[in-house]
Structure 1
Amino acid sequence: MFSVVIPLYNKASYVEKAVESVLCQTFSDFELIVVNDGSTDSSVEKLARFTDDRLKLINQSNTGVSGARNKGVKHARFDYIAFLDADDWWHERFLEEMNALITQFSDAGLYGSNYFVVKNGVNTPAQVGVEAGFEMGYINYFKVYARTFWVPLNCSFVVVKKSVFEQEKGFNEHLRFGEDLDLWIRIALTHKVGYVNKFLANSNQDAETTNRALGTDKFWNKKEHVTFNISHLADQEQTQPNLKTLLDGLRVRSLVAYRLNDWYPEEVRAIMSRVDLSAQPLFYRFVYQWPRPIINVYFRAKQYGSYLKQMLLRRFYSYVHAR
């Protein structure tokens, strides 16, 4: 039924929990393919204790997460591909619920569930923009995403029909930021998306930032960043308002660091010229319309204020404990 694909690169601290969450699923008709993408830590050694014959390890030189996922799908035997990152984990009923969703809504090419965000060890329910009272069914991916800008799908709580994945030629291996968004958009433009509004996965934000695509210190080459590579969707944006709303919102959110640091200024200005900033939150209008020196002063002051607040809190707690 399911081929589960885990791309693995230097996740020794987390991969055991990810694998355990798959092998402990209540739905047992699956294979688990771990693609070791040239790890240099003890990630592979951590897998040695697992003897379940449903687990298959594939080793390759480092190609990036998209190449690892694509390699896993090439080795998949089943009709549905479930992805899981090596630092995240599933609820034990994830595959069971996905099977029920697929059975009831078989016309979709892409499926997902709600999830928890794990930060500082605390589970916070994701605020995915489904309608109040929604339980299970088809969703408008663009509308749901744009309603709250909490991702409704990512590579740890998604199932893709293998034939659809192959039709779309998988993940774009040139992208290193937003490669999953790129694929979900391509699929959602031509296929239905099924969704179950249950919290069935955990997105681990406590993983080392050096091992994650997101971060305030991460700057991707424009050839690797999805926002610089979606101009081909211009025609669809004109005919699909929900797609336009989503992409404009993602443009202003994903390019803030580029604006502050004057990275690719001409390209950023060209992208923003296609965005109706009056429809964006006040913060983003400030970032993209005010002079950059003023914006940087604001962010430095905000950063200093945060530092000062933390310092005062530490001193306060030290004073309280000393009494």
Structure 2
Amino acid sequence: MNFSVVVPLYNKAPYVAAAVRSALDQTLRPLEVIVIDDGSTDGGAEVVHAIGDPRVRLIRQPNRGVSFARNLGIGLARGDWVAFLDADDWYHPEMLSSLQQAAAAVPEAGMLGAGFRRVPPAFDGTYAPWSVADTFFEVEVVEDLRTRWMRSAPFCTSSVAIRTDLLCALQPAFETADSIGEDLDLWFRVADLTPVALVNAPCAAVRVLPDSLSTKQAPAALPAYLERMERRALAGEIPARHRRSAIRFVAQMQVTLAREALDVRNRRLALHWLWRARRIGGSRRWLLTALMALCMPAQVAGHWQRWRLRSAELFSPEGPSA
């Protein structure tokens, strides 16, 4: 088996060389590294061109968004598998080798994932490997990715690979109209079609950049990918074995939106989201959030954030976590 690594690039000149070199320096050499420059204005494409490795394919296009860039990379891929890597992240040298082991252990799997580690914002544009438990990795088989994700996010965009033929059959694989959750949307749609094999070791590093941190807000609308997931589940378009977990996943995200509304003292919006999530109204997390929304006086609303930090949270910025 061989891998095409797709790297979407937009104004990440200080970091993209490290990302590309981490893919080239794998113990299992990639067939190619496809960098889609999405209209960068900071010289990032020139940085990639200067690497000078024949395995690097640099494609330039006007700015059309990360989903369009990834879809273009998928269409150009010549490998059996497409692995994704963001331009400000990097691979451990054993990343592709670990995914190969997962594919050998679970040959029916059409999606492979590995764990990841977060890198704090104080860093330069270099990368260095870190310790992993072993060169032979424990592999977990996942039949229901949504249920697994509600325990913890087992992989991120920079630690996943999918069979190329499966991605091409789903093109446009990434929804180009979405600005939130376009990656989760694809992972779950793929996982409805195939088992997922997970390597339980941190084989990718995710850079936490100051300019990429989310702004605190209380969304009044459900992200489009969750609306589609709920609609498809209720219409019977998701396989029967996954419909219940799909509906539960959407409801848990609605509880998360209720908690975000409480963070900014918008009790009415919080109650709206709790009503939308009433399918899991008997769950501990829903009841705790409802209790705070109903009983929290306006003058002590600010205490919610401190209480929340002490309570068990389900979703992290990269996805649900325990």
Q: CA deviation at 1:91?
A: 0.3
| Paired residue type of 2:29 | S
Q: Please give the residue correspondences for 1:64-143 in structure 2 after superposition, counting only pairs within 5 Å.
A: 64-120=65-121, 135-140=138-143, 141-143=145-147
d(CA) in 2 for partners of 1:215, 1:285: 25
Matched, 1:298 2:303: yes
Give the residue type in structure 2 aligned to 1:3.
S
Specify the alignment match of 2:277 in structure 1.
272
Any conservation in 1 of the 2:12–2:44 contact (CA below 8 Å)? yes
CA drift at 1:218? 6.1
Q: Which runs of 5+ in 1 are unaligned?
A: 126-133, 304-323
**In structure 2, distance between residues paired with 1:194 and 1:300:** 37
State the AA in 2 paired with 1:189. D
Instruction: Give how far 1:153 is off.
Output: 2.5
Given the two structures, how large is their TM-score scaled by the length of structure 2?
Answer: 0.76
Partner deviation per Cα, 1:194-250 (whole Å, 9 max, x = no partner): 111122111222x133xx3x5143677848553344322235598544444433333
Does structure 1 residue 144 correspond to structure 2 residue 145? Answer: no
Show CA shifts across 1:27-84 (max 9, x none): 1142101111111223223223200011011111222211111111111112210001
Does 2:223 align with 1:201?
no
Q: How does 1:1-323 map to 2 (within 5 A)?
A: 1-120=2-121, 135-140=138-143, 141-147=145-151, 150-169=152-171, 170-205=173-208, 207-209=209-211, 212=212, 215-217=214-216, 222=221, 225-232=224-231, 233-234=233-234, 235=236, 240=242, 241-254=244-257, 256-258=259-261, 260=264, 265=269, 268=273, 271-276=276-281, 278-280=283-285, 284-286=289-291, 288-290=293-295, 293=298, 296-298=301-303
Which SS does the other structure have where 2:250 is aligned?
Answer: helix
Answer whether contact 2:85 2:158 (CA < 8 A) is retained.
yes
Is the Cα contact below 8 Å between 1:18 and 1:87 reproduced in 2? yes
Q: Tell me the SS of whatever aligns to 2:150.
A: helix
- Look up the SS of the partner of 2:49 in the other structure: helix
Q: Deviations over 1:108-137 (max 9, x none)?
A: 1111011212225599x9xxxxxxxx9114
User: Over aligned residue pairs, what C-alpha RMSD do you find?
Assistant: 3.4
- In 2, Cα distance between the equivalents of 1:254 and 1:53? 46
CA distance in 1, matches of 2:230, 2:119: 34
| TM-score, normalised via structure 1 length | 0.76
Structure 2 contact 23–30 (Cα < 8 Å) conserved: no
**Percent of aligned positions with the same letter in both sequences?**
29
> Which deviates further from its counterpart, 45-54 or 155-164?
45-54
Match of 1:306 in 2: none
State the shift of 1:6 in Å: 0.6
Count of aligned pairs: 288
Q: Post-superposition shift, 1:17?
A: 1.3
In the alignment, the residues of structure 1 paired with residue 140 and residue 197 of structure 2 have an alpha-carbon distance, to the nearest angstrom, of 5
